[in-house]
Amino acid sequence: MAVTNDLVTDNRVHKIALTLTAMGFDVTLAGRTFPSGKIKLERAYHCRRFSLWFNKGPLFYANYNIRLFFYLLFKRFDVIVANDLDTLAACYSASRITGKPIVYDSHEYYTEVPELVDRPKVKQIWEQIEKRIVPKLLHCYTVCQSIADIYTEKYSVPFRVVRNVPSFSANIATDDAFVPPFPLNRPVIIYQGAVNLGRGIEEAILSMHQLENVLLVVIGSGDHLESCRKLVVDEGLSDKVTIIGRVPFDELQKITRFATIGLSVEKDMGLNYRYALPNKLFDYIQSEVPVLASSLPEIRRVVESYSVGLIIDDTTPEMIAEGITKMVTNNDVYQQWKENCHNAKTKLCWENEQEIVKAIYTTLL
């Protein structure tokens, strides 16, 4: 299984790796080492992380795919899994040479991410890679039905849906001794996930000007992490906003339980975000934390189907502040949302979702 991250926070590939291990596969997860250093991993499967000469931009993607290709060329394997388009070139080339089957797990609508929308030349390169390889694939799945429908129609290749839902069993045991890295003397509004363009984090920070007696906690990393930290300082909001950075997913589960509201306020910036179904949405539900979410179709469908929070029509500081106020001041409705989260988490869990994974990979055993 190949990814371009450092394996530490990617819970989706971790869950799939565990499922495949339980099925009888001997799994190796291949990624890379971040410049900040290698965090030790203790996993039930093998991990391999490449040290690269380049860590961003086109040279990084070329560097990684070349390293991955030669690694695969000389490693024995029966199935190769490409996670996202940025690993697909190396994985497909190795698959063609070795004659081994390839599985494609598309975590998002990669060519429509906000970082590519305004970069037509770079976007065209990724589109060409996708266009040349995806129609030749036999085993594909993605994170939600909307993206699956787009890919299926675009390339005449059936895409199945494996949602990035958390494990229910991982949330049964609680650590009473765990102390979260923020005070609990006021309602905690949590954002967890990638700190990138279009996630609504800047707007959430600015919404704190209109709110009293709440704390916004941002957990994650990404291209906009430092600019968000600067925004907090420049706006004089250090007493209302805590930015923690990224933490391992097992620790994140412990932290999320202490939140009052979970934010999933992505902006409609291209088709990838429009049809996004973020894993943090399910993480909040699994931790019984009601959600304040933007009105994007896949997100709205889950929030309204299970009645686990509030939808806002626009991701502005004013509407985020108004939504938070409604949620923290209407205790009866809030408690009903929490109860609905409790009921929904037994359905929206990996123990159910992994049956789709098993059906896909059973044919390859």
The CATH number for 179's domain is 3.40.50.2000
| Residue 225 counted as domain residue | yes
On whether residue 191 sits in a domain, the answer given is yes
Beta bridge partners of 37: 34
Q: Taking 90 as the threshold, does the pLDDT of residue 218 lie above it?
A: yes
List, for residues 24-34, the tens digit of each pLDDT value.
999 999 999 98
Domain that holds residue 122: 11-165+350-362
Question: Domain for residue 239, yes or no?
Answer: yes
What's the DSSP call for residue 56?
A: S
So what's the pLDDT on residue 183? 86
**Which backbone phi and psi does 248 adopt, to 5 degrees?**
-60, 150
Q: Is residue 28 part of a domain?
A: yes
* pTM for the predicted model, two decimal places: 0.88
* Statement to judge: residues 130 and 226 lie in one domain: no
**pLDDT reading at 270 higher than 90:** no
Q: Do 154 and 173 belong to one domain? A: no
Torsions phi, psi for 333 (to 5 deg): -65, -40
The DSSP code for 102 is: E
- Assigned domain for 275 exists: yes
In a domain, 5, yes or no: no
Give the strand pairing for 102-106 and 139-142.
parallel
Q: In this structure, are 124 and 217 located in the same domain? A: no
In the numeric block, the tokens 């989260």 are attached to 341
The number of domains in the chain is 2
User: Is the same domain home to 155 and 241?
Assistant: no
Are both 209 and 112 inside the same structural domain? no
CA angle, 257 then 340 then 336, to 5°: 95
**What is the average pLDDT across 75-99?**
97
Q: Return the pLDDT at 90.
A: 98
Tell me if residue 73 falls in helix, strand or coil: helix
Asked, for residue 1, whether it belongs to a domain, the answer is no
Q: What is the mean pLDDT of residues 360-364?
A: 95
Are 137 and 182 within one domain?
Answer: no
Number of Cβ within a 10 Å radius of residue 182 = 18
For residues 122 and 257, membership in a common domain is answered with no
Q: What is the pLDDT of residue 249?
A: 81
What's the pLDDT tens digit per position in 160-170?
Answer: 999 999 998 66
In this structure, are 230 and 302 located in the same domain? yes
Same domain, 262 and 331: yes
Identify residue 317 by its one-letter amino acid code: P
DSSP state string for 103-127: EEEE-S-GGGSHHHHT-HHHHHHHH
Q: 24: burial class by Cβ within 10 Å (0-12, 13-18, 19+)?
A: exposed
Rounded distance between C-alpha atoms, residue 33 and residue 4, angstroms? 9
- Which residues have CB under 8 Å from 264's CB, separation 6+? 278, 280, 281, 284, 291, 292, 293, 294, 299
Structural domain contains residue 143: yes
